């Protein structure tokens, strides 16, 4: 057990160190800060109405810029993680030591959680003071949203790692990621279009609508944004129980896909 935890630590430290020594993560941070500060400047000066809660600008910037860009970056980073190890043949070297499938997947997952926390700390150390200098207070629910974002990112990372176990090709893993989100988007789009057509107008359309609605209900279990949405609604309504339920859902979601990733890696082997 101690060997597995140590191996998990080594894998996580290795991945984290490699990433923060590369320029990619700093470009992501720089892009997040540049867009955030521009929006902060524009909206901070444009909104002069005292009845408007200007602090919500911080939440908007955080969710749509910092978290949004982090999702894209960490989704790609996660989905290519194992495929890259396989294509570089480094995965075989790792498994000669005390590393097994459990410690390998867990190390990959935890390193990327740490990467998000790294992005989170740096961006907030710039955006929040900049907002205060412009007279924009930190919103009271900012900490809750920040915590919720960690669990959203956790879901994104876990599904990314899961998809990465399904292929040995970096390009193939990216195609899987794109396909995953495209399918979710198309189902949502079809549901919206079919929802505009009156029920009973055409039997074929009614059957198609039922199929799409069934698929839409199924996607609610595999879309990380659904669980985040539950937490977001809970923050808005002040429902603490629902907020923690959202965190629980996200935790279970992440755990399920981490375990699935481990199982697939055990079944397929490290060379496939």
List the single range of 5-14, 86-95, 127-136, 171-180 with lowest mean pLDDT: 86-95
Averaged confidence pLDDT in the chain: 83
| 216-236 average pLDDT score | 81
At residue 226, the pLDDT reads 83
Output 223-232 pairs: Cβ under 8 A, ≥24 positions apart. 223/184, 224/152, 224/155, 224/156, 224/159, 224/250, 224/253, 225/152, 227/151, 227/152, 227/155, 227/253, 228/148, 228/149, 228/151, 228/152, 228/155, 231/148, 231/151, 232/145, 232/148
What does the domain layout of the chain look like in residue ranges? 2-268
> Above 90 in pLDDT, residue 16?
yes
> Above 80 in pLDDT, residue 79?
yes
- 210/146: higher pLDDT: 146
At residue 116, the pLDDT reads 97
DSSP 199: T
List the single range of 36-50, 73-87, 185-199 with lowest mean pLDDT: 185-199
At 214, list the tokens.
Answer: 């069934």
> Above 90 in pLDDT, residue 145?
yes
List the single range of 44-53, 133-142, 226-235 with lowest mean pLDDT: 44-53
């Amino acid at each position: 057990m101690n060997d597995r935890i140590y191996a998990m630590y080594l894998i996580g430290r290795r991945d984290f160190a490699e990433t923060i020594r590369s320029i990619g993560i700093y470009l992501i941070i720089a892009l997040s800060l540049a867009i955030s500060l521009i929006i902060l400047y524009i909206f901070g000066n444009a909104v002069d109405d005292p009845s408007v809660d200007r602090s919500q600008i911080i939440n908007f910037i955080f969710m749509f810029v910092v978290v949004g860009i982090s999702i894209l970056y960490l989704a790609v980073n996660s989905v290519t993680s194992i495929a890259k190890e396989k294509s570089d043949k480094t995965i075989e070297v790792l498994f000669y030591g005390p590393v097994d499938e459990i410690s390998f997947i867990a190390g990959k997952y935890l390193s990327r959680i740490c990467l998000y926390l790294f992005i989170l700390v740096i961006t907030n150390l710039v955006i929040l003071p900049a907002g205060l200098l412009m007279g924009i207070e930190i919103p009271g629910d900012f900490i809750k949203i920040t915590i919720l974002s960690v669990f959203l990112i956790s879901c994104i990372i876990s599904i990314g790692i899961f998809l990465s176990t399904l292929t040995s090709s970096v390009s193939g893993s990216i195609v899987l990621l794109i396909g995953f989100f495209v399918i979710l988007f198309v189902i949502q789009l079809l549901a919206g279009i079919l929802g505009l057509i009156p029920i009973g107008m055409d039997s074929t359309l009614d059957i198609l609508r039922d199929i799409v609605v069934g698929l839409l209900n199924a996607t609610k279990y595999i879309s990380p944004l659904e669980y985040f949405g539950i937490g977001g609604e809970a923050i808005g309504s002040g429902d603490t129980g629902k907020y923690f339920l959202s965190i629980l859902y996200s935790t279970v979601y992440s755990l399920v896909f981490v375990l699935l990733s481990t199982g697939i890696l055990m079944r397929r082997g490290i060379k496939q």
